[in-house]
């Protein structure tokens, strides 16, 4: 099964994606992880992305799409995958649809984790991230075993600048403008399913699992 996770930043889609990936034995593909892999291994795509990142510029849609397309056709994706953080806008959604169609494939489920803005501001200000391995935590919902320390690699956790309340509000504005239209896009393709992301994490997971197994 090929799944796209939708929802505002901080809606919990990354956490749900990781749980679904483990349950169904398919890769959880986040754009952050793909970029880190390509940069670390010095691939041609990674070198191209680094040129933009070194200048403090966003990696263009076209290159982001290339990097994702390269990943989803790897051997471990033959039974499906979950995309988390891609597509971010309509043009990326159209690109993904086109690339999959050319391979005789399609997105099977677009899961929209719906959470009101005010909940997200509270939620995200509690997030902490590992600058080394990319693992994410929440001081209330998913605390690390040792306060301030990553369970996976032992690095000191940080609060990312974009998780601070004032920045979260700006990120939500960008989401509503660029990414939220994907909800209607996938509704039009007949693969959209919306779950209530304000429920406890285990209940959201149960709701998503029911959709995928029905």
Say which of 36, 48, 50, 88 is annotated catalytic: 88
Q: What percent of the chain has pLDDT above 90?
A: 66
CA distances from 158 to 53, 92, 100, 143 (A): 20, 30, 37, 13
71 is catalytic: no
Work out the burial of residue 40: count CB atoms within 10 Å of its CB; fewer than 13 is exposed, 13-18 middle, 19 or more buried: exposed
The CA dihedral of 19, 41, 155, 56, to the nearest 10 degrees, is -100
Say which of 2, 13, 123, 128 is annotated catalytic: 13
47 is catalytic: no
Say which of 36, 48, 50, 171 is annotated catalytic: 171
Q: For residue 44, is pLDDT > 90? A: no
**Model confidence, pTM:** 0.80
- For residue 43, what are the contacts with CB-CB under 8 A and spacing of at least 6? none
Say which of 2, 71, 123, 127 is annotated catalytic: 127
- For residue 75, what are the contacts with CB-CB under 8 A and spacing of at least 6? none
Condensed to tens digits (0 to 9), the pLDDT of residues 171-203 reads: 899 899 999 999 999 999 999 999 999 999 999
Q: For residue 155, is pLDDT > 90? A: yes
Lookup: tokens for 173: 């504005």
Say which of 36, 48, 50, 160 is annotated catalytic: 160
106 is catalytic: no
What's 4's DSSP letter? Answer: E
Segment (H or E) for 196: strand 192-196
Fold held by 2-116+190-213: Rossmann fold (3.40.50)
Residue 36 has a pLDDT of 85
């Amino acid at each position: 099964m090929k799944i796209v996770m939708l929802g505002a930043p901080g809606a919990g889609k990354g956490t749900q994606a990781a749980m679904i990936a483990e349950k169904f034995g398919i890769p959880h593909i986040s754009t952050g992880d793909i970029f880190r892999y390509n940069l670390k291994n010095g691939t041609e795509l990674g070198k191209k992305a680094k040129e933009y990142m070194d200048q403090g510029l966003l990696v263009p849609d076209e290159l982001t799409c290339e990097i994702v397309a390269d990943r989803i056709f790897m051997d471990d994706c033959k039974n499906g995958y979950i995309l988390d953080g891609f597509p971010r806008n309509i043009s990326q959604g159209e690109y993904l649809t086109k690339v999959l169609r050319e391979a005789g494939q399609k997105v099977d489920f677009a899961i929209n984790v719906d959470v009101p803005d005010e909940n997200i501001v509270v939620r995200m200000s509690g997030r902490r991230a590992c600058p080394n391995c990319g693992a994410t935590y929440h001081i209330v919902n998913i605390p690390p075993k040792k306060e301030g320390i990553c369970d996976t690699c032992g690095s000191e956790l940080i609060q990312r600048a974009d998780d601070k309340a004032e920045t979260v509000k700006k990120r939500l504005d960008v989401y509503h403008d660029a990414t939220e239209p994907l909800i209607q896009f996938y509704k039009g393709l007949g693969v959209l399913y919306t779950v209530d992301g304000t429920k406890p994490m285990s209940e959201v997971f149960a709701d998503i699992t029911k959709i995928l197994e029905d």
